[in-house]
Structures are given as structure tokens and as C-alpha cells.
Amino acid sequence: MTTHRRCLFRMFTGAVALNAAAGAQENDGGHWADFLNWLKSAPPFEDPGVLLGAYRAHLLEHGVAAEEAAGRIARIMERMRGRPDGWRQIFNNIYAGAGSGFSARPNALLVSAVENRKPGKALDAGMGQGRNALFLAARGWEVTGFDLSEGGVAAARKSAAAAGLDINGIVAGSAEFDYGSSRWDLVVITYVPFPVWEPAYASRLHAALRPRGLLVIESFASEEGTAGRTPVDIDPARLLRAMLPLRILRFEDTEDIADWTLRKTRLVRLIAQKP
């Protein structure tokens, strides 16, 4: 990763930390609308950090002071936690590009989890362009994937058709998707802003697994309340507590190359099995 990209990524994560100071400024409804309108005509970018860096440059070019621009971005990021329309447009933008800011290969943790395992029914939650779904389908799994990005799901379907693979790609967010009960032999969740550490959400995942079904999770890691954490960061201790009803087969709080940003950073990895 170049120095320029690292700086933009730090700007992206650091903007979130400014939210507390900026929270008193409630005139952000118009700012949110302006951001979404800008996204509609923005050229493709390779990752959220670069995209937000471009939006900051857009604000500065239009006379917004640097401090105010940082505050607006912080408030935008906070709104995204509960506003999937922002994430949808961001990832539609990213998936319209060359994809050089993230890995197109299947997640290595997932690959290790299913090695020598009999295929069954798999769910790729937050499938993006389908790198994990396509890998599983090629290994004989019956795969369903969902993502709120129409662009991502369309790309996954197109790649599956080109490869002669069958996947069920659904456009949906994590809140409305029905995980079901005792439905999946495998659920994989990588680098998505789903609250997998929250007891209610974790319970949905536990219930969705069939007996001896696997849950595979990997994402960026930081403790709750850490300055500059991204919406896809997971607190490792909270994740582990939330998954204790399952049998923990592998758990790592480590540093490694992330599938997103392709840089060495702190990651949390988990493979757990339903009894």
C-alpha cells in the first residue's frame, strides 16, 4: 500500500473518532443528502478510505474549512451505522471499479475451515462480489449469499454464470435478511459492518446453524471505544463472549494482511461450531 493510501485510510478511520466532538452540530441532514448526491456521480474508488478522502477534497474545493470537512465526514460515518443507503452507494461505487483495494481470492480462514469437510448448505453473509460464495460453490456447496449492494450481487451472479456455478444471490441488508433456524451447515462473515458481537445478533447466528454447523468470522479488530475504529471493527473479547454457546475451534487476535486494504493490521478470526 502506498503512503498516500495509508494516509487516506487513517483519515477514514480517524474521522469516526471526531464524532463525539462534532455530535453537537445537528445540521447534518443536508450534509448527508449532499454526500449521497455526490456519490451518485463520483468515479469508482478502490476502498472506503480513498472514497472519503475524495469527498473531503470535494468539500475543501467548495470552500468548506478543513475542520468542518472532518466533522461532516465523522457525522456521515456515524449515520452509516444505521443507514444502509450510504453503504449501498459506497459499495456500488467500489464494485464498479477495478477492485484493486481488496482481495478477489477466497478468505484464507474460510478455505482452512472447509478443508476436508463435506459440503452442505452455506450462507455468505455480506457476499460482496462473491469471492467466498464462488469458492464454496466450486467445492460443491449449495450457496446462498446476500449483500445490500446491487452491484456486488450482480457481479457475483455474473461470475457464477461465467464459471458454470450455481449461487443464490440476494440483495438485502443484515437486519432484514432471515437467517432462519437450523438452516445452514456453514455461515461465513468477513469484513462487513454486522454487529456479530451483540447478544441478539449472535443468537440469530447460533439459531441459524444446523448441529455441527460452522461459523467463520474475520474482520478488523479493536476494543470498543477505541479512537479511530472503523464500522467493520470487531472487539475480540466481546466477539468471543458472544460465541461461547458454540464450540470455539479457532480464535485469533493477531496482526496479518487484511483482505480489505491489503495491509498488515490487527485482525480477529474465529471458527466456531454448533454442538
pLDDT in tens, 208-227: 999 999 999 999 999 998 88
- Of residues 158 and 231, more confidence is placed in 158
Domain that holds residue 223: 108-273
Closest among 84, 8, 13, 83 to 45, alpha carbons compared: 8
Tell me how far apart the alpha carbons of residues 137 and 188 are, in angstroms, rounded to a whole number. 13
pLDDT band at 89 (very low <50, low <70, confident <90, very high): confident
Residues in the chain: 275
Yes or no: say if 114 and 213 are a contact pair by the CB < 8 Å rule.
no
List CB contacts of 116: < 8 A, sequence separation 6 or more.
none
Q: Are 218 and 106 in contact (CB under 8 A)?
A: no
Question: What is the distance between the alpha carbons of residues 215 and 187, in angstroms, rounded to a whole number?
Answer: 5
- E strand or H helix at 29, and its extent? helix 29-41
What would the grid cell of residue 274 be? 454448533
Those residues with Cβ within 8 angstroms of residue 96's Cβ, 6 or more apart along the chain or in another chain: 44, 151
Looking at the fold, whether 39 and 157 belong to one and the same domain comes out as no
Same domain, 178 and 240: yes
- Residue 30 in any domain: the answer is yes
Same domain? For 56 and 132 the reply is no
Indicate whether 63 and 126 sit together in one domain. no
CA 217 from centroid of its chain's CA atoms:
11
Task: Tell me: do 153 and 59 sit in the same domain.
Answer: no
The total number of structural domains in the chain stands at 2
CA distance 268 to 251: 7
CA distances from 74 to 13, 45, 56, 61 (A): 9, 19, 11, 18
Question: What pLDDT is stored for residue 171 in this prediction?
Answer: 96
- Quick check: pTM over 0.85? no
CATH code for position 114 = 3.40.50.150
Task: Identify which of 190, 220, 212, 17 has the alpha carbon closest to the alpha carbon of residue 109.
Answer: 190
The model's pLDDT over 150-179, given as tens digits with 9 standing for 90+, comes to 999 999 999 999 999 999 999 999 999 999
- The edge-to-edge listing of strands for the beta sheet with 167-171 is 167-171, 142-147, 121-125, 184-190, 209-220, 264-273, 247-257
48-87 confidence digits (pLDDT tens) = 778 888 999 999 999 999 999 998 888 877 777 667 777 7
Separation of alpha carbons 169 and 199, rounded Å: 27
Are residues 216 and 126 both part of a single domain?
yes
At 7 the pLDDT is 39
247 phi and psi, to 5 degrees? -85, 120
- Let me know whether 181 and 267 are in one domain: yes
The confidence score (pLDDT) of residue 96 equals 81
